[in-house]
Chains A and B, each alone.
Chain A
Amino acid sequence: MPSAADAGNTFTLRIERSMAGLAQLGGWVDTVAAALGLDEAADYALRLCLEEAAANVVMHGTADADADAGFVVMRVEPAPDVLRVTVEDCCGAFDPLHVPAPAPPTNLEEARVGGLGIHLMRQYARAISYERAGDTNRLTLTIGR
């Protein structure tokens, strides 16, 4: 969680856990990247990691009776050399870091069209960790800037 001193610098977006909610992400990342003056590489890494993490929740999250399970909350907290990014949801416990990396496709008919998100996030984030805090799934990513 951001400390009080950082609170004014932290960007937060809460979206519905739906494809329509995900479609809001691109414009929000534009705003964050412009406010922080991110270069192209940092912009790409932030955009990719947020998109993959949030899409995972939307497509694979299992909702329970908790009304908050209908939302995904993303935070970007800038530090001098890195961005600390958290993606939280209140779906059933799910650690995406335990999903095995997909084998590279060898032909078009067998190529998987899912399961690449975690693999790509690992390429673009310096560090990723997962924790289950109460009824919250929290993925924390460190992205270079």
Chain B
Amino acid sequence: MRMETEEVAPGVTKANLTGRLDIGGSQEIDLAFNALAGSQRALIVDLSQVDFIASLGLRLLIVGARTVQRKGGRMILFRPPIAVESVLVSSGTDNVVPILRNLDEAIHAVSG
């Protein structure tokens, strides 16, 4: 599991995750992702290169989104593959962390 970050607009960070958000993958990026969530107010989590997620990965995303929100910021999920999106929807995660597919809309959504 890999995580790289880039600034896609002033004050807006996109975290690009690559690999499987399974138990092992979630453990690998847990510290780095929590630290990122703790330091950002506008965070786009790019899931386009994530090919698996289950409940431990959902937990990572929900805890991160909560951390950002508690500072008055916003986090959204970006372009999950269909198999990953199915789990996000089935678990109701999309009710509390929006999923967007267009980068301009994503930047606008977190910039609010």
When the two chains form their complex, are residues B27 and A23 in contact, meaning their CB atoms are under 8 A apart? yes
Fill in one digit per residue for A116-134: 1 if any B CB lies within 8 Å of its CB, else 0: 1101100100000000000
Interface residue tally of chain A, by bracket? 20 to 34
- With A47-B22, A47-B54, A114-B59 known to touch, is A108 a contact of B83 (CB < 8 Å)? no
When the two chains form their complex, are residues A120 and B52 in contact, meaning their CB atoms are under 8 A apart? no
Instruction: Report chain A residues within 8 Å CB of B93.
Output: 105, 111
When the two chains form their complex, are residues B25 and A26 in contact, meaning their CB atoms are under 8 A apart? yes
- The answer for the CA separation of A51 and B55 in the assembled complex, in Å, is 9
A38 on the B face (CB < 8 A): no
- With A25-B24, A26-B23, A26-B25 known to touch, is A52 a contact of B55 (CB < 8 Å)? yes
When the two chains form their complex, are residues A55 and B56 in contact, meaning their CB atoms are under 8 A apart? yes
- The secondary structure that dominates the A interface is helix
Instruction: Report chain B residues within 8 Å CB of A108.
Output: 62, 65-66, 69, 96-97
Partner of B23, one of A22, A107, A119, A123: A22
- The answer for the CA separation of A107 and B65 in the assembled complex, in Å, is 11
Give the B-binding residues of A (Cβ under 8 A): 19, 22-27, 40-41, 44, 47-48, 51-52, 55, 104-109, 111, 113-114, 116-117, 119-120, 123
Give the A-binding residues of B (Cβ under 8 A): 20, 22-25, 27, 52, 54-56, 58-59, 62-63, 65-66, 69, 83, 87, 90-93, 95-97
Question: What would be 19 A-B contacts, judged by CB atoms less than 8 Å apart?
Answer: A19-B23, A22-B24, A23-B27, A24-B24, A26-B20, A26-B22, A26-B24, A48-B54, A51-B56, A55-B56, A104-B95, A105-B93, A108-B62, A108-B66, A109-B66, A111-B92, A113-B63, A116-B58, A119-B91
